[in-house]
């Protein structure tokens, strides 16, 4: 794709320098041919599918070893093109086309040689830079071929290469914890992907949100990586000149079509031949966007046509496009131009149990470093236990306060166990983007992530605090002193809490916003409370509503603790004696041993069903952009 000497002269005049030395050979060559990508929009409940919008229109090109920049105005399709090439787009939207790496159709095996850095730095904020990099190394390097010392050496080398030595032990940062700078976060994100030594690296808007100096440093880093035999492909919106001059190849897009692809140094010469003239000291990147936005006018009338995208039409009529097509014909000869391999998942290099150990370790560490989810949960349970214990301190056996206070205390306890778990709805929502990115990149299986969250959340944040809560409240209220009765009380409280947590897990896995999650979790909790047997007598309920009692966590929990406490107690008032069994019989509660354990089994059933559905919903999370 050579241009005339006059074209090169224009470039030299505008950018104060001639064409630079090309990228080193060694990285893979990526080719894409006749790509058509579309999405459905404006879906509504009244219509299953909205109109189809074409995002990429017959796009073909070649990405060579070195710095490959994809530029274009907002909505031009540059990010969509990057994601399609990287296999990050929903394959259902790919109508036709073929993506190849070194002449081979992309498969999950070929994707192991590539890495993808998302626009928003998705990192575990409570972990340090070194801990995040080591997490990636443990899960993405085969333990059979890489020892622990080798993984640490790889992490040390990346920290050194990326200039992260001074902040290697600094936390990434959260909304409650001050962490590293934006540039250090970006470099850490790149380092997470460099762990596998990929020869092909994709980046979505790597300079977004960074100041000019930090953005320049990131591009210099990428430029250095490209000189080490890597193919760097990235989308970028409007780089300054010092960044633009680092590009080896440029792909310019407008309205979903290509308007230029080739050497970045020769782009000005190409548009000069079309009648567009770059003013002295003007940034070429800004100049190209002015052209695509229609702010720069051509001096040649032939470029003014009735076509919707005259720049794309002119490019397809150029010798540049013809040369690209000739090369693509040679590469794709013998292959059917259909999208293949795009929907395959990345392979896992580590076993299920190895992933469980690593992911659980990170999840536990994250919980311990999040005071609002660990220490606060324990403190809250202790506070409510003391509050309940003081309100119902040493409940007597005299009527009527003996019955009224006990049943009121049990209802208050069940409400606290259920509604105290509303915080669990944020479990999957907070880390949704992190899970999607890591799962799509082959870090771990969905089942590993799900089980690790259950183990790390249920034990430290639900079960242990509940037993502490039960021990304080039970003996302060003066309930049955038998130790077995206390154990059954604590078991019931734990199952009630876990049932509420499991429903919160289901809602958390089914929605991506806190507002919708709060609505979805509050409604069933309120209905369960109404049909729990305390606010309304279940025997007097309308028959067509009575079935709701069978799905009420409140009902099973309240019946279980009432049976556990009332059985064997004798209440008195002057000359009146009331056995606890008589009260249970009046309420229509089966106080036999099977009657008690039936409530426990029901709570286990609710918990199991909700957990199973939560896992199904987590697997159904849309991982495509």
CA 432, 436, 440: angle at the middle one, nearest 5?
Answer: 170
- Contact predicate 188/132, CB 8 Å: yes
Render 238-263 in DSSP notation, one character per residue. S--HHHHTT-SEEEEEETTEEEEEEE
Name the average pLDDT for the chain. 83
Which pLDDT does position 53 carry in this prediction?
83
Helices (H) and strands (E) in the chain, counts: 24, 12
CA 348, 350, 356: angle at the middle one, nearest 5?
Answer: 110
- Contact predicate 479/395, CB 8 Å: yes
Distance CA 28, CA 295 (A): 37
Q: Is the pLDDT of residue 540 over 80?
A: no
Which pLDDT does position 90 carry in this prediction?
78
Lowest mean pLDDT among 176-180, 470-474, 606-610: 176-180
- Is pLDDT larger for residue 108 or for residue 381? 381
Which pLDDT does position 2 carry in this prediction?
34
- Is pLDDT larger for residue 474 or for residue 574? 474
Distance CA 312, CA 449 (A): 45
Which pLDDT does position 532 carry in this prediction?
65
- Alpha helices, H only, 431-587: 432-440, 446-458, 464-477, 483-510, 514-530, 553-566, 580-586
Averaged pLDDT, 463-475: 89
Instruction: Encode pLDDT of 270-327 as tens digits.
Output: 998 888 888 888 888 889 988 888 777 777 755 445 557 788 888 998 889 999 888 8
Q: Is the pLDDT of residue 111 over 70?
A: no
Which pLDDT does position 597 carry in this prediction?
92
Instruction: Encode pLDDT of 374-395 as tens digits.
Output: 677 788 888 889 998 999 998 8
Averaged pLDDT, 186-210: 90
Which pLDDT does position 307 carry in this prediction?
59
Distance CA 74, CA 11 (A): 25
Confidence class for position 149, pLDDT limits 50, 70, 90: very high
Tell how far CA 16 is from the center of its chain: 44
Lowest mean pLDDT among 23-32, 140-149, 518-527: 23-32
Which pLDDT does position 446 carry in this prediction?
92
Distances (CA, A) of 562 to 271, 347, 389: 83, 52, 17
Confidence class for position 250, pLDDT limits 50, 70, 90: very high
Lowest mean pLDDT among 272-276, 359-363, 402-406, 422-426: 422-426
Which pLDDT does position 21 carry in this prediction?
47
Which pLDDT does position 15 carry in this prediction?
39
- Is pLDDT larger for residue 250 or for residue 521? 250
Q: What is the dihedral of CA 473, 477, 480, 481, to 10 degrees?
A: 70
Which pLDDT does position 14 carry in this prediction?
42
Cα first-last separation, the chain: 33
Give yes or no for a cis peptide into 400 (omega within 30° of 0).
Answer: yes
Q: Is the pLDDT of residue 45 over 60?
A: no
Residue with tokens 């049976």: 563
Which pLDDT does position 334 carry in this prediction?
56
Confidence class for position 603, pLDDT limits 50, 70, 90: very high
CB-based contacts of 65, cutoff 8 Å, min separation 6: 23, 24, 25, 26, 27, 28, 29, 226, 229, 230, 231
Which pLDDT does position 605 carry in this prediction?
94
- Contact predicate 26/48, CB 8 Å: no
Q: Taking the CB of residue 260, how many other CB atoms lie within 10 A of it?
A: 27
Lowest mean pLDDT among 23-32, 181-190, 407-416: 23-32
Which pLDDT does position 128 carry in this prediction?
93
Instruction: Encode pLDDT of 314-363 as tens digits.
Output: 899 888 999 988 888 887 665 554 444 444 555 688 899 999 999 999 98
- Contact predicate 493/471, CB 8 Å: no
Which pLDDT does position 23 carry in this prediction?
45
Instruction: Encode pLDDT of 508-529 as tens digits.
Output: 888 888 888 888 888 888 877 7
Instruction: Encode pLDDT of 227-243 as tens digits.
Output: 988 999 999 988 989 99
pLDDT above 70: percentage of residues in the chain: 86
Averaged pLDDT, 601-614: 93
CA 166, 167, 170: angle at the middle one, nearest 5?
Answer: 145
Confidence class for position 109, pLDDT limits 50, 70, 90: low
Q: Is the pLDDT of residue 58 over 60?
A: yes
Query: Which bin fits 41, alpha (ψ -120 to 50), beta or left (φ > 0)?
Result: beta
Does the predicted TM-score (pTM) go above 0.85? Answer: no
Domains of the chain: 5-26+68-81+108-311 (3.40.50.300), 352-619 (no CATH)
Confidence class for position 139, pLDDT limits 50, 70, 90: very high
Which pLDDT does position 11 carry in this prediction?
33
Averaged pLDDT, 479-496: 91
Distance CA 162, CA 195 (A): 12
């Amino acid at each position: 794709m050579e241009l005339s000497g006059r074209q090169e002269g224009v470039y030299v005049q505008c950018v104060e320098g001639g064409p630079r030395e090309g990228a080193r050979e060694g990285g893979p060559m990526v080719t894409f041919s006749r790509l058509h990508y579309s999405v459905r929009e404006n879906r509504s409940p009244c219509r299953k599918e909205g109109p189809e919008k074409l995002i990429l229109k017959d796009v073909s090109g070649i990405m060579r070893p070195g710095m490959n920049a994809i530029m274009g105005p907002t909505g031009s399709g540059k990010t969509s093109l990057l994601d399609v090439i990287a296999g990050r787009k929903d394959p259902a939207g790919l109508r036709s086309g073929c993506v190849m790496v070194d002449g081979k159709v992309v498969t999950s095996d070929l994707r192991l040689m590539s890495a993808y850095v998302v626009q928003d730095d998705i990192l575990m904020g409570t972990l340090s830079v070194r801990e995040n990099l080591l997490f990636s190394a443990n899960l993405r390097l085969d333990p059979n071929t890489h020892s622990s010392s080798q993984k640490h050496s790889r992490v040390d080398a990346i920290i050194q290469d990326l200039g992260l030595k001074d902040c290697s032990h600094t936390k990434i940062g959260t909304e409650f914890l001050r962490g590293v700078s934006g540039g250090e976060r970006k470099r850490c994100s790149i380092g997470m992907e460099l762990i596998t030594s990929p020869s092909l690296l994709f980046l979505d808007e790597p300079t977004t949100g960074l100041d000019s100096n930090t953005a320049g440093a990131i591009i210099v880093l990428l430029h250095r990586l490209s000189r080490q035999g890597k193919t760097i492909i990235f989308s970028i919106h409007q780089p300054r000149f010092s960044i633009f001059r680092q590009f080896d190849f440029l792909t310019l897009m407008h309205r979903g079509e290509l308007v230029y692809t080739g050497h970045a140094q020769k782009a000005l010469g190409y548009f000069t031949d079309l009648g567009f003239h770059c003013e002295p000291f003007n940034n070429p990147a800004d100049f190209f966007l002015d052209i695509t936005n229609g702010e720069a006018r051509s001096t040649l009338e032939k470029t003014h046509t009735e076509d919707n995208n005259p720049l794309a039409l002119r490019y397809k009529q150029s010798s540049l496009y013809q040369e690209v097509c000739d090369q693509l014909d040679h590469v794709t000869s013998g292959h059917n131009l259909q999208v293949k391999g795009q929907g395959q998942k990345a392979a896992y290099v580590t076993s299920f149990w190895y992933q469980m150990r690593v992911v659980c370790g990170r999840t536990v560490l994250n919980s311990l470093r999040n005071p609002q989810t660990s220490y606060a949960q324990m403190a809250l349970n202790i506070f409510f236990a003391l509050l309940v214990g003081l309100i119902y301190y040493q409940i007597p056996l005299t009527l009527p306060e003996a019955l009224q206070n006990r049943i009121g205390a049990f209802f208050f306890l069940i409400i606290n166990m259920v509604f105290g778990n509303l915080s669990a709805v944020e479990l999957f929502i907070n880390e949704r983007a992190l899970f999607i990115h890591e799962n799509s990149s082959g870090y771990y299986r969905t089942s590993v992530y799900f089980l690790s969250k259950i183990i790390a959340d249920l034990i430290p944040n639900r079960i242990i605090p509940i037993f502490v809560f039960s021990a304080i409240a039970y003996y302060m209220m003066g309930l049955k002193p038998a130790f077995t009765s206390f154990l059954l009380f604590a078991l019931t409280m734990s199952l009630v809490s876990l049932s509420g947590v499991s429903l919160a897990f289901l809602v958390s896995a089914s929605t991506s916003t806190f507002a919708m999650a709060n609505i979805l979790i509050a409604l069933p909790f309120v209905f369960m409370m109404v049909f729990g047997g305390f606010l309304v007598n279940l025997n007097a309920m309308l028959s067509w509503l009575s079935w709701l009692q069978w799905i009420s966590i409140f009902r099973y929990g309240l019946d279980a603790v009432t049976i556990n406490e009332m059985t064997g107690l004798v209440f008195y008032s002057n000359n009146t004696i009331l056995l606890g069994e008589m009260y249970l019989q009046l309420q229509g509660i089966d106080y036999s041993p099977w009657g008690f354990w039936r409530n426990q089994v029901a709570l286990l059933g609710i918990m199991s069903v909700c957990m199973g559905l939560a896992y199904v919903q987590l697997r159904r999370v849309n991982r495509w952009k």
